[in-house]
Amino acid sequence: MPDSKNNVPKVKRVTMAHGSGGRLSRELIQDLVLKHFGHPTLHRLEDSALFEVDGVRLAFTTDSYVIQPLFFPGGDIGKLAVTGTVNDLLCVGARPLYLSLALILEEGFSLDKLERILDSASREAGEVGVEVICGDTKVVQKGKGDGIFVNTSGVGVVPADLDISPRRIEMGDAILVSGPIGDHGISILSQRESFGFASQLRSDCASLVSLVQGVLDPSLGVRCMRDPTRGGVGTILAEIALDRQMGIQVDEEQIPVRDEVRGACELLGLDFLYIANEGKMVLFVAKGREQEVLSILRKDPLGRESTIIGQVVAEHPGMAVLRTKIGGSRIIDLPTGELLPRIC
């Protein structure tokens, strides 16, 4: 949950909060990683990096998956490793082409489970038309891993005329989300803790290829897309407001959240804004074009519940603000502590 900015202890060791996707993750990356690696593309910290070779524009991204449990309602680590990396490529407007698949296996891990995971990754890749073309397998001793960690990196091709990036966001842009938020995080939590309250809930884990490709035509005015995984929609809104020094305002009443997710969050004192998603997209769309984009998104099976949740405003630059149902407002800050560890 968000905490006061001055309360962050100066740790000398890695903590779980460094992996939360929130403020400490950001500090770790900015203080340590970016200090050593100077490429401006890396410094943009977008979901995928863009580069050009002989006039061809390509996107490149990487993600390690350390989720627990490995199998969950709606997916498993294999499916997730494909959808997560595919969605990161989609965020910059790329057409996903190829994936790498690198496994770190713990001694003693069941080969049957491994087979189920590979089968699931393979099905998902086949469905969205990406090909796994390289891989690696390492084994660590029992007690030095956690069953299986998966890394997928991905390469895609970006059309010449397309520029989808937080740098393009402008005042007045509408903010859309492609469906109910928090399903993945609460589904994992429910599975992990054997809570009954969300027994019908499934992770939203899905590749958004068709959803995204439907709105890529530059004339539609989609300026930025972000994949609200670890850290949720709240972290993305806070980051963009901060990085672009723009004001963001969203309406609680407009944000789609399933009853199970809302109930679980109330019970556990969690904020659905920060709960992970694995099959949703947040879109920033030029003012006046949002209704058209919304109607296209809603035609896609994975976007039927798309909603306009807010806009980019002139007030409070650098800050994302939630207008609550009861008419108040509160700051959407970067989360400081550990929300739900190992959620992706």
Range 120-159, binding a copy of itself (CB under 8 A): 121-122, 125, 131-141, 143-146, 149, 151, 153, 155, 157
Distances in Å between the Cα of 83 and the Cα atoms of 86, 254, 293 are 5, 26, 23
Distances in Å between the Cα of 311 and the Cα atoms of 13, 127, 213, 248, 285 are 39, 34, 23, 6, 9
Tell me how far, at minimum, the Cβ of 45 lies from a copy of itself, in Å.
9
**Rounded Cα gap, residues 18 and 29, in angstroms:** 9
Tell me how far, at minimum, the Cβ of 36 lies from a copy of itself, in Å.
4
Q: Which is nearer to a copy of itself, 57 or 244 (CB)?
A: 57
Binding to a copy of itself in span 246-275, by CB under 8 A: none
Q: Which two tokens stand for residue 11?
A: 């740790």
Tell me how far, at minimum, the Cβ of 84 lies from a copy of itself, in Å.
10
Query: How many CB atoms lie under 10 A from the CB of residue 251?
Result: 17
* Contact criterion met (CB below 8 Å) for 22 and 343: no
**Rounded Cα gap, residues 184 and 264, in angstroms:** 12
Q: Which is nearer to a copy of itself, 62 or 254 (CB)?
A: 62
| Cα-based angle 236, 287, 217 (whole degrees, multiple of 5) | 80
**Rounded Cα gap, residues 151 and 167, in angstroms:** 28
User: How many residues are given for the chain?
Assistant: 344
**Rounded Cα gap, residues 214 and 126, in angstroms:** 20
Q: Which is nearer to a copy of itself, 101 or 201 (CB)?
A: 101
Sketch the per residue contact string, 171 through 210, with a copy of itself: x for CB under 8 A, - otherwise. Answer: ----------------------------------------
Tell me how far, at minimum, the Cβ of 258 lies from a copy of itself, in Å.
27
| Among the residue ranges 105-113, 239-247, 293-301, 306-314, the one whose residues contact a copy of itself (CB under 8 A) | 105-113
Tell me how far, at minimum, the Cβ of 309 lies from a copy of itself, in Å.
27
Q: Which is nearer to a copy of itself, 59 or 297 (CB)?
A: 59
Tell me how far, at minimum, the Cβ of 292 lies from a copy of itself, in Å.
30
Residue with tokens 């060791």: 13
Binding to a copy of itself in span 56-75, by CB under 8 A: 56, 58, 60-66
**Site for a copy of itself contains 161 (CB under 8 A):** no
Site for a copy of itself (CB under 8 A): which residue of 6, 7, 12, 194? Answer: 12
Distances in Å between the Cα of 174 and the Cα atoms of 152, 254, 285, 338 are 32, 13, 5, 30
